[in-house]
Amino acid sequence: MNDKFEPNIVAFLCNWCSYAGADLAGTSRIQYPANLNIIRVMCTGRVNPLFVLNAFQQGADGVLVSGCHPGDCHYMEGNYYARRRFTLMRELLEYVGVDPRRFHMSWVSASEGAKWKEVVEEVVENAKAVGPFDQFRRNKINW
């Protein structure tokens, strides 16, 4: 792949664990790639799996959903529902030919600023390895 390709990643983070973990990475001045933009939701349970499709259509090269570790959900169960939904969505995407390296899910707690950096790096590297996802982009219409 093109070395200069900088993937565009959209991430959904739960307010209580992963968003706080990403904040902690900031407070700790941990440096990581700038390819990822975060949308804050209150819980991964809020993230509709169809958002992933929409993100790809809108031009994302990769999508990340990150929440609390199992058992730690601020709302008790949201991440469990998310885990089922995204397990299925991921299988489905892979089946229709979306490279699994484009979609990731992670558990990052409020105290795991360092893990957040590792997750971002892995997600970005993966998306770099597969290259731009123009085939699924809305503005590049393939009649």
Partner 1 sequence: MVDLDKLRTVAKETVSRDDVKYLIGWSQGTFGYRVSPHFVKTPQEVDSLTFSPLCSNNLATYLTLTEKLPVPRGEEPDTRKVALMVKGCDSRAVVQQLIEQGITREQVYIIGCPCQGVVDLQKVDEKLGEGVEPAQASWENGQISFQLPDGKTEAFPREDVLADKCITCRYPNPVLSDILLWDEVEVWGSDDYEDVKELDSKSPEEKWAFWQDKFSSCIRCYSCRNVCPMCYCEDCILDRLNPTWMFRSNNVVENTAFQVARAFHLAGRCIECGECERVCPVDIPLMKINRKLYKEVREKYEFEPGLDPESKPLQASYRPDDEEDFIL
Partner 2 sequence: MNNKPRIGVYVCHCGINIAKTVEIDPVTEYASQLPNVKVARNYSYMCSDPGQLLIREDIEKEGLNRIVVASCSPRMHELTFRKTLAEAGLNPYFLEMANIREQCSWVHEDVEEATAKARKLVASSVAKARLLEPLEEKEVDVEPATLVIGGGIAGIQAALDIANAGFKVYMVEKTPSVGGTMAQLDKTFPTLDCSACILTPKMVDVASHPNIELMTYSQVEEITGYVGNFEVKVRKKARYIDMEKCTGCGICAEECRLKNRIPSEFDVGVGKRSAVYLPFPQAVPAKYTVDPERCLFLTRGKCGESPKCADACPSQAFDFEQADEMVEFKVGAVIVATGFDVFDASRKPEYGYADYDNVLTALEMERLVSASGPTGGKIVLGKGDEAYTPKDIAFIKCVGSRDESVGNEYCSRGCCMYTAKLAHLVHEKIPDANVRIYYMDVRAFGKGFEEFYDRVRREGVRYIRGNPSEIFKRGDKLVIKVEDTLTAKALEDEVDLVVLAVGLEPRKDVREIIDLLRLSQSGDRFFLEAHPKLAPVDTATDGVYLAGCAQGPKDIPDTVAQAKGAASSALILLSSGKVKVQAQIAIVNEATCRSCGYCVEICPYGAIEMVEANRMGHIVSVARVNEALCKGCGACVAGCFSGSIQQKSFKDAQILPQLAVLGVK
Q: What angle do CA 41, 64, 121 make, to 5 degrees?
A: 125
Cβ–Cβ under 8 Å, residues 81 and 45 = yes
Residues 26-58: b if buried by 16+ CB within 10 A, e if exposed: eeeeeebeebbebeebebbbbbebebbbebbee
122 counts as binding partner 1 under rule CB under 8 A: yes
Please give the residues from 21 up to 80 whose contact with partner 2 meets the rule CB under 8 A: 22-23, 25-27, 29-32, 34, 37-43, 45-49, 51, 54-55, 57-60, 68, 71-78
Q: How far is the CB of 114 from partner 2 (least distance, A)?
A: 10
Mapped onto helix, strand or coil, the DSSP state of residue 49 is coil
**Is 99 an interacting residue with respect to partner 1 (CB under 8 A)?**
yes
Residue 39 within binding range of partner 1, rule CB under 8 A: no
Strand pairing report for 36-41 and 103-107: unpaired
Taking CB under 8 A as the criterion, the residue among 74, 81, 114, 131 binding partner 1 is 81
Residue found by looking up tokens 């993966």 in the block:
126
Give the binding site for partner 2 (CB under 8 A): 8, 10, 15-17, 19-20, 22-23, 25-27, 29-32, 34, 37-43, 45-49, 51, 54-55, 57-60, 68, 71-78, 81-82, 85, 109-112, 117, 137
